[in-house]
Structure 1
Amino acid sequence: MTKKKKKTGNRYGLQAITLCISTAMVLILLGMVVFSVLTAQNLSSYVKENLTVTMMLSDDMTNPEAKQLTADLYKLPYINKVNFISKEQVLKEQTAAMGTDPSEFIGTNPFVGSMEVQLKADYANSDSLKWISKSLKANKKVTDVTYPQDLMDSVNYNLQRINIVLLALAVLLTFVSFSLISNTVRLGMYARRFSIHTMKLVGASWGFIRRPFLRNAMGLGFLAAVIADCVLTGGIYALYTYEPDVMVVLTWQVMAITGGAVLLFGLLITLFCAWLSVNKFLRMKAGDLYKI
């Protein structure tokens, strides 16, 4: 009798380990997709906010007027950053590049000042830039407004395609994950189907029978989620060690949301799968248990 109980306990322990490892592997894949989606969104914002809109200033604009214009621009809701480049600075840079001072031949500074404006990510698209450009040109001291239209359209188009692919992959992986974890949980329940039927025969309520199975499933789901989070954390640290600049788009919010999503998914899906599996065997009659 003791040997039989020990053998049964070992079998259940092996099933629990298998379920934990299988669930952890699936959660790692799901976490990678969530991580990729969130990082892609941050990358999209980063790229858009680094696209430059150039405002060419009139020759008679003084530096104090330019500083006042800079302050006024920062008050606008769509402005993220403004960099004023004076005509004296342009002359200095061109002199260093050409090796000679053009003003010595012309008698005056032939260059004009400009402002490099970076917009907030929500406004860095073609539709918004049309009316923003008109708004900036309304200032009499602004002679022209230019921006890389083709580059901006290409960035928006490619980022949109990447987001669609990642979202589709996330939905597909969610269904695959549910199927794999559900089958693994069902196999564990299958081995204990006679125990479930015995408890039902002695008068135990369905809720009483379900409770330990659901509790064990949540415990395994939590452990699997912790393992998955640890693996993902190790991968992120390795990525940071290889390329520290990745932290520009890889924020703490991304890591927190990814870890929380993995933990929540691990708990909910194992709980739900265990609930379905236990109910399936609870509804079966004694004769049906031998046919599956």
Structure 2
Amino acid sequence: MLVSDEMKESDILKLQKRLNEEPFVKESVYISKKQALKEQSEAMGTNPEEFLGYNPFTASIEIKLHSDYANSDSIAKIEKVIKKNTNIQEVLYQKDLIDAVNENIKNISLVLLALAVVLTFISFALINNTIRLAIYSKRFLIHTMKLVGASWAFIRKPFLLRNIWSGILAAIIADSILMGTAYWLVSYEPELIRVITPNVMVLVALSVLVFGVLITFFCAYLSINKYLRMKAGSLYYI
């Protein structure tokens, strides 16, 4: 953000302070004309003031935005807000780069979503097959319970409870791994705390627990009902 030469340094610092109070500003850095000249001279290997006779650079304020505002639409709105101040000469940012980054993030998100769907399907298939095999081995016990007059609800109960507890245990293990991985990522890159927030992790942990219970309950319920409906003779041919 380039500042007018007519602004005094004290006024620029006041402007910077006001900007820091805005919700979209993460941090800001004031660069004076002298500092800009020094940095550019070092970058170019020559001092333009020596042959121009004056400092061609203007004071500026570099603004870093919060991640929630790092997209073209938000930046365009922020630019309009900043330009309302007549002492702001120009707001500079790499629009093409931001668009490219956001497009890449969108594409990566779609790939990760597709991968998550595939892994969810695979997980469901593995859990379903495991439960079906466990109940298959008890098919004659289920039939025996039917013969002695046990109701279907009574027969289902121990199988459902056992599988629900298995789902809870599996969810606890999965949540522990997720929490450990999240903690390691945040300790390695503290900025990720803006994405991996405690609220997000609680929501993920609860979702894993709920889906773990629902999937095991649903698979066990269907498998048990299959053998409850079968006649004795059919149990030998499956």
Q: Same fold (TM over 0.5)?
A: yes
Deviation digits for residues 244-270 of structure 1 (CA, Å, limit 9, x no counterpart): 533432646365555544444333322
Distance of aligned partners of 1:161 and 1:213 in 2 relative to their CA distance in 1, 3 Å threshold: same
Cα deviation for residue 216 of structure 1 reads 1.2
Distance of aligned partners of 1:196 and 1:159 in 2 relative to their CA distance in 1, 3 Å threshold: same
Distance of aligned partners of 1:152 and 1:115 in 2 relative to their CA distance in 1, 3 Å threshold: same
* Structure 2 residue 85 is the aligned partner of structure 1 residue 142: no
Structure 1 partner of 2:125: 179
Structure 1 partner of 2:192: 249
Cα deviation for residue 86 of structure 1 reads 2.0
Distance of aligned partners of 1:99 and 1:165 in 2 relative to their CA distance in 1, 3 Å threshold: closer
> Which TM-score applies when normalising by structure 1?
0.69
CA RMSD of aligned residues (A): 3.0
Q: Given the alignment, which residue of 156, 165, 168 partners 2:114?
A: 168
Structure 2 partner of 1:114: 60
Structure 2 partner of 1:218: 164
Cα deviation for residue 99 of structure 1 reads 7.8
Percent identity (aligned): 52
Report the Cα distance in structure 1 between the residues aligned to 2:201 and 2:33, rounded to whole angstroms: 45
Amino acid at match of 1:67: L
Q: Given the alignment, which residue of 126, 133, 137 partners 2:79?
A: 133
Matches within 5 A, 1:154-165: 154-165=100-111
Distance of aligned partners of 1:72 and 1:236 in 2 relative to their CA distance in 1, 3 Å threshold: closer
Amino acid at match of 2:101: V
- Give the match's secondary structure for 2:189: helix
- Give the match's secondary structure for 2:121: helix
- Give the match's secondary structure for 1:147: coil
Amino acid at match of 1:248: E
Distance of aligned partners of 1:232 and 1:136 in 2 relative to their CA distance in 1, 3 Å threshold: closer
> Which TM-score applies when normalising by structure 2?
0.82
Tell me how many residue pairs correspond in the alignment. 235
Report the Cα distance in structure 1 between the residues aligned to 2:21 and 2:182, rounded to whole angstroms: 38
Q: Given the alignment, which residue of 224, 229, 234 partners 1:283?
A: 229
Unaligned runs of 5+ in 1: 1-54
Structure 1 partner of 2:28: 82
Cα deviation for residue 224 of structure 1 reads 3.1
